[in-house]
Chains A and B, each alone.
Chain A
Amino acid sequence: MAGVRRRIQTLLTLAYMNGIVPMRTQPLYLLGVLASPLSFLFFVTIASGGKLFLTSVAGGMVLTMVSIGTSLQTDMSHYRQDLKLQDLLVASPVEAPVYVAGMALSELVYSLPGIVVFAVLWLHYAPVTPFSVGSAIAILLLVWAFASGLGFTMATYFADVRETFIFSTLVSLGLSVVPPVYYPVSFLPANLQPFAYLSPTTYAADLMRNAFGLESLSIRAIATDWGVLISFTIVLIGIAALKAQWRET
């Protein structure tokens, strides 16, 4: 029981340390979390004459969650290589899965102000039901989970934190800019649409638009989207768990 209490305390302390404290000491950095999602919202809304405003709000939420993965990747690389934080924590009762979970939770906490901005826009401009809110939260938590798994896994590969910046850009491009996150998949040419379904964010955005009432998916399509999204999450978390080794060889 003491072990469980210790693990929960470690998890929450890490979330506070890397999530809440930076908000207080570096509030301007919060704008960085919002910069990309709000920029896309602005441009897509303008370019579509306002028709894709709510689609972009839904996409903005997904992109904010994807950004958690890239932030986690950058933070963990920086803390491991430059600050030697990982070495410091290895030689302590902190366990690797608790560290990864705590850091992922901290990134979620740090992104909450961004999600709140999009949630306010959603509540203000579209009808909301408890079911749609519950669906959106579940979808976003899955995106958070697979993005964190991906971010942590990639962080284990880089020898220099500068490499992570390049990869972060590629991840954003591949998971949230190119795939139909800010626009419906039907906007893509028919021969490109199958490629869109290689990205887990396509399924998440599909479900978000459904939750927003912007699309009416069939039960089968909804089940497929959830199934694929959950599968992606399990696989990426599984890979991250395999990579989560405290000790160097």
Chain B
Amino acid sequence: MQATPAPARSTSVPGDAAIVARNLSKRYGSARKGVDALSEVNLTIPRDRIYGLIGRNGAGKTTFVRIAGTQLLPTSGSLTVLGHDVLTEASTIRLSIAAVPQESRPLYFLNVDELIFLYLMTRGMERREARRRTDSILEELSLAPVRKRLVSHLSGGMRRRAMVAMVLASDADVIFLDEPTTGLDPFARREVWAAIRRAKREHRTVLLTTHYLDEAEALSDRLALIEAGQVKVEGTPTEIRDRVRLPYRVSVQGGFVRSELEPFGEVSAFDGGFLVFAREKDARELAMAALSRGARVALGPVSLEDIFLQIVGRPLDDGMDAETEA
């Protein structure tokens, strides 16, 4: 998604864009008492790339994905997928997309093999091709040993992996993955990552939402940070880092009171100490001062998590349990 200036009313689609949103808004509930889930969002998601949407629960990520996936109508604005309008050409779009919805679960009476194979068959894939793709994805995501096991007998992480396997095995040009690795162990996450990267090599577009910023950074060619229904920052991971005013982080434990740190940069309490976002020169000076006082200190470039904190003013997981995704 590129934060391009929005034309007043345009349906033109850049040739290399998979998804284009213009002034896209979604309001749940009535005009007076409703809640804005998306407000005038303008995004361009390039083809054949992995695009990450990051943000807290309720930020609007899932709403965007559901509109693009033709599951939800927008309140205003436009959105096209592969050049087709979600309002008037939904049937055409559906021939070319696949999605793993947030919190989706597989039919419990199917085994893993059936889950993937029958999904491909419901999409209309030719039987032999569906069998070939099923066998391939089972191997790739290390699901072959449990292929005959009922999904109701799998762990939560394995079920999630099976769901992701379904859509990655499909022939969809655009794949929507809403929190695809929630509940997976680190090893399984990396297997899913590898499969997602393969989808990109096959010239497919993947729109990914995630709470895991390391995942977003590891997978995404471009990222957008959504907060309160608006795109706060957008670009490649490198571009996003370059936009940050204070690109270094220094964590200090002991040896300082808050007021002594404030001249170096922006200070926040962190894990019994302080976290300071600073320019390179100030960060070096602070680190040296901390070392001279015998304080514990760590210095490095800001992470996506830090950037999120700087832009939004609170960490990604703040209030995550209390809110539900819009």
Q: How far is the CA of A246 from the CA of B111 in the complex (A)?
A: 27
Known A83-B104, A249-B73: A91·B97 in contact at CB below 8 Å? yes
B142 to chain A, nearest CB (A): 22
Given the complex, which residues of A lie within 8 Å of B95, measured CB to CB?
93
Does A53 have its Cβ within 8 Å of any Cβ on chain B?
no
Q: How far is the CA of A90 from the CA of B97 in the complex (A)?
A: 10
- Asked if A248 and B123 make an inter-chain contact with CB atoms under 8 angstroms apart, the answer reads no
- Asked if B124 and A84 make an inter-chain contact with CB atoms under 8 angstroms apart, the answer reads no
Which residues of B255-275 have CB atoms within 8 Å of chain A's CB atoms? Answer: none
Does A26 have its Cβ within 8 Å of any Cβ on chain B?
yes
Given the complex, which residues of B lie within 8 Å of A79, measured CB to CB?
107
| Chain B: CB-nearest residue to A11 | B122
Known A84-B101, A92-B97: A247·B123 in contact at CB below 8 Å? no
Known A82-B105, A83-B105, A247-B73: A93·B124 in contact at CB below 8 Å? yes
| Chain A: CB-nearest residue to B97 | A91
- Asked if B94 and A92 make an inter-chain contact with CB atoms under 8 angstroms apart, the answer reads yes
Which residues of A60-113 have CB atoms within 8 Å of chain B's CB atoms? Answer: 79, 82-85, 87-95
The one of A7, A16, A85 that contacts B107, using a Cβ cutoff of 8 Å: A85
Q: How far is the CA of A87 from the CA of B66 in the complex (A)?
A: 8
| Chain B: CB-nearest residue to A26 | B109
Given the complex, which residues of B lie within 8 Å of A13, measured CB to CB?
118, 121-122
A62 to chain B, nearest CB (A): 27
- Asked if B123 and A83 make an inter-chain contact with CB atoms under 8 angstroms apart, the answer reads no
Known A85-B104, A91-B98: A22·B73 in contact at CB below 8 Å? no
Given the complex, which residues of B lie within 8 Å of A7, measured CB to CB?
124
- Asked if B70 and A90 make an inter-chain contact with CB atoms under 8 angstroms apart, the answer reads yes
A1 to chain B, nearest CB (A): 12
Which residues of A6-38 have CB atoms within 8 Å of chain B's CB atoms? Answer: 6-7, 9-10, 13-14, 16-18, 21-22, 25-26
| Chain A: CB-nearest residue to B91 | A95
The one of B94, B109, B110, B150 that contacts A91, using a Cβ cutoff of 8 Å: B94
Which residues of B85-107 have CB atoms within 8 Å of chain A's CB atoms? Answer: 90-91, 94-95, 97-107
Given the complex, which residues of A lie within 8 Å of B105, measured CB to CB?
82-84
Given the complex, which residues of A lie within 8 Å of B94, measured CB to CB?
90-94
Given the complex, which residues of A lie within 8 Å of B311, measured CB to CB?
none
Interface centre among B103, B106, B107, B176, by most A CB within 10 Å? B107
- Asked if B104 and A6 make an inter-chain contact with CB atoms under 8 angstroms apart, the answer reads no
Given the complex, which residues of B lie within 8 Å of A249, measured CB to CB?
72-73
A144 to chain B, nearest CB (A): 22
| Chain A: CB-nearest residue to B72 | A248
Q: How far is the CA of A164 from the CA of B90 in the complex (A)?
A: 30
A-B residue pairs, 4 tightest by C-beta: A6-B124, A91-B99, A84-B104, A87-B101
Can you sample 17 A-B contacts with CB below 8 Å? A7-B124, A9-B122, A9-B124, A10-B122, A10-B123, A17-B110, A18-B107, A21-B114, A85-B107, A90-B70, A91-B69, A91-B94, A92-B97, A93-B123, A94-B94, A246-B70, A247-B90
Q: Tell me the A residues contacting B by CB distance below 8 Å.
A: 5-7, 9-10, 13-14, 16-18, 21-22, 25-26, 79, 82-85, 87-95, 246-249
Contacts A17-B114, A90-B69, A90-B94 known; list 19 others, CB within 8 Å.
A6-B124, A10-B122, A26-B109, A83-B104, A84-B103, A87-B99, A87-B101, A90-B71, A91-B70, A91-B98, A92-B94, A92-B98, A92-B170, A93-B94, A93-B95, A246-B71, A247-B70, A247-B71, A249-B73
